[in-house]
Amino acid sequence: MASDSVPATDRGLAYGDGMFRTLQVRAGRAVHWERHVEKLAADCGRLAIACPAADVLHEDVMAVTAEQPDAAVKIIITRGIGARGYRPTIDARANRVVIATPLPVYPERYAMEGVMAHLCRIRLGTQPALAGMKHLNRLENVIARAEWEEGPYAEGILCDEQGDVISGTMTNLFILEGERLSTPDLSRCGVAGVTRALVLERAVTAGIASSIERIALDRVVRADEVFLVNSLIGLWPVRSIAGKAVRTGPMASRIRNWIDESGSPR
């Protein structure tokens, strides 16, 4: 069974040597479960962390949500206990933590009318060896999120050192230009979330052109629509960035439907 604490010698604590997922459980079902567990295994695989089997994790998720069938569930997989020193122990048994919390409640207008976004001052560093993974080294996100208080801004937009837009602090970003969807290239920094992957797949099915590429900030501000996605919020349109108005439009609700519809039960 997953534990509610980790030993002080766990490498997840010592070095952030692990991965995590955050997902919804609705009516006792883990939404987009296969996507989450595949992404978790893929991320662990990149760093040779021994990811527990999907069924084991699913049992944990069901156990922690047994008394709250609607919940946000966080799964943390660490490389396990380590001796002192950075060298990964080859035979380490991964530790896992599975936590359920109440689903966050956001104002309904975030999804309907869109959100105002802060433009983060911190720039994401470039590290291809870590880019795309949802690993436990998240101080950049912590620093970014500390830039603004609760208040007008629902999310912050992160750029890389070149000034290209990468994502929100907790979301992936898409822009619509004419009939074309684009989302930032995450091969140098950022987290490639499962909702982003889902949207890219559904765009293909729907016959909507889409691309993964470098996207400068001014292109985002001039786009026909901008939206933020993740597994907890679904989709929020963006209506301003750093006080500059951003256009909203009908594609947002269409894509939100893709995300909601495809939350098919396991």
Cα–Cα dist 13/178, whole Å: 46
Q: Tokens representing 33?
A: 């479960």
58 binds its own copies (CB under 8 A): no
To its own copies, the closest distance from the beta carbon of 82 in angstroms equals 9
* Residue 231 main-chain phi, psi, to 5 deg: -75, -20
Using the rule CB under 8 A, give the single segment among 3-11, 54-62, 218-226, 246-254 that binds its own copies: 3-11
The helix-helix angle for 251-261 and 194-205 (nearest 10°) equals 110
The angle subtended at Cα 155 by Cα 243 and Cα 172, nearest 5°, is 115
To its own copies, the closest distance from the beta carbon of 12 in angstroms equals 5
Cβ-based nearer residue to its own copies, 87 or 261: 87
For the residues of 200-224, what is the DSSP string, one character each? HHHHHHTT--EEEE--BHHHHHHSS
To its own copies, the closest distance from the beta carbon of 73 in angstroms equals 10
Cα–Cα dist 106/38, whole Å: 28
Residue 99 burial by Cβ neighbours in a 10 Å radius (0-12, 13-18, 19+): middle
User: In this structure, which amino acid lies at residue 154?
Assistant: A
7 binds its own copies (CB under 8 A): yes
Residues of this chain, 115-154, that bind its own copies according to CB under 8 A: 122, 125-127, 129-130, 135-146, 150
48 binds its own copies (CB under 8 A): yes
33 binds its own copies (CB under 8 A): no
To its own copies, the closest distance from the beta carbon of 14 in angstroms equals 7
Q: Residues 70-99: x/- map of binding to its own copies (CB under 8 A)?
A: --x-x-x-x----xxxxxx--------x-x
Cα–Cα dist 205/103, whole Å: 30
22 binds its own copies (CB under 8 A): yes
Chain contacts with its own copies (rule: CB under 8 A): 3-17, 20, 22, 47-48, 72, 74, 76, 78, 83-88, 97, 99, 101, 104, 122, 125-127, 129-130, 135-146, 150, 161, 169-170, 189
